[in-house]
């Protein structure tokens, strides 16, 4: 819960592969910089759900340094925007991305995911009310075998998708 202790804890356990920070409400860009700088390529999965202080800049630093990341959970990060998704799309090995209730994400963010995350296998977009059938179509055309989780679907969605 106290983010000022994070660097000391990470240095002590510097080979962490799976990190859940969802209960640490004070995670900032600086905190994500510490995570990236200390854990580096050891980090495979990070859970940042329910957090809102960090920005796309912290995410960008995290994914550029932690090149082994295959799973990122940003669920309920209600303040993140397409810029954060664009930063996340820089994770070239990413296989699973959870964006549940990220209400500010739009089709533009999904386009970034489609262009950047070539290894994506699972994408959760439940209650992402800013996306339309265009964004879903971008993702569906790019990924032939993607487990896509949706719960808020606009009328007419999927009618134009061609395989």
Q: Is the pLDDT of residue 155 over 90?
A: no
Condensed to tens digits (0 to 9), the pLDDT of residues 23-81 reads 898 999 999 999 999 999 999 999 999 999 999 999 999 999 999 999 999 999 999 99
Instruction: Assess if residue 126 is contained within a domain.
Output: yes
Instruction: Assess if residue 154 is contained within a domain.
Output: no
Which one, of 59, 15, 66, lies nearest residue 37 by Cα?
66
For the entire predicted model, the pTM comes to: 0.91
Condensed to tens digits (0 to 9), the pLDDT of residues 11-25 reads 999 999 999 999 898
Q: Residue 108 contacts by C-beta under 8 Å, 6 or more apart in sequence? A: 82, 135
Q: Is the pLDDT of residue 107 over 50?
A: yes
Residues belonging to the chain:
163
**Residue 163's pLDDT is what?**
45
Instruction: Assess if residue 121 is contained within a domain.
Output: yes
Distance, CA of 97 to CA of 78 (rounded, Å): 15
Instruction: Assess if residue 162 is contained within a domain.
Output: no
**Structural domains counted in the chain:** 1
> What CATH number should be reported for the domain holding residue 16?
3.80.10.10
The neighbouring-strand residues paired with 73 are 47, 98
Instruction: Assess if residue 83 is contained within a domain.
Output: yes
Structure tokens at 131: 């996306």
Q: Is the pLDDT of residue 158 over 70?
A: no
Q: Is the pLDDT of residue 162 over 60?
A: no
Q: Is the pLDDT of residue 101 over 50?
A: yes
Q: DSSP secondary-structure letter at 49?
A: T
Instruction: Assess if residue 155 is contained within a domain.
Output: no
| Residue-range definition of the domain harbouring residue 90 | 3-149
The pair phi, psi for residue 82, each rounded to 5°, is -60, -30
Q: Is the Cα dihedral 73, 114, 57, 42 positive or negative?
A: positive
Instruction: Assess if residue 156 is contained within a domain.
Output: no
Structure tokens at 143: 């990924």
Instruction: Assess if residue 159 is contained within a domain.
Output: no
- β-pairing, 96-98 vs 122-124, is parallel
């Amino acid at each position: 819960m106290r983010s000022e202790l994070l660097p000391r804890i990470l240095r002590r356990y510097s080979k962490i592969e799976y990190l859940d920070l969802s209960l640490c409400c004070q995670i900032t860009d600086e905190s994500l910089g510490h995570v990236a700088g200390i854990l580096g390529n050891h980090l495979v999965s990070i859970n940042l759900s329910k957090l809102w202080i960090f920005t796309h800049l912290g995410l960008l630093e995290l994914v550029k340094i932690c090149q082994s990341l295959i799973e990122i959970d940003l669920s309920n990060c209600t303040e993140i925007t397409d810029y954060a998704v664009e930063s996340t799309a820089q994770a070239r090995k990413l296989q699973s991305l959870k964006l549940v209730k990220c209400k500010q994400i739009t089709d533009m963010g999904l386009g970034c995911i489609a262009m950047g995350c070539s290894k994506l296998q699972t994408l959760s977009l439940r209650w992402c009310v800013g996306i339309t059938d265009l964004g879903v179509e971008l993702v569906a055309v790019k990924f032939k075998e993607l487990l896509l989780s949706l719960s808020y679907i606009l009328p007419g969605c999927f009618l134009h998708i061609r395989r």
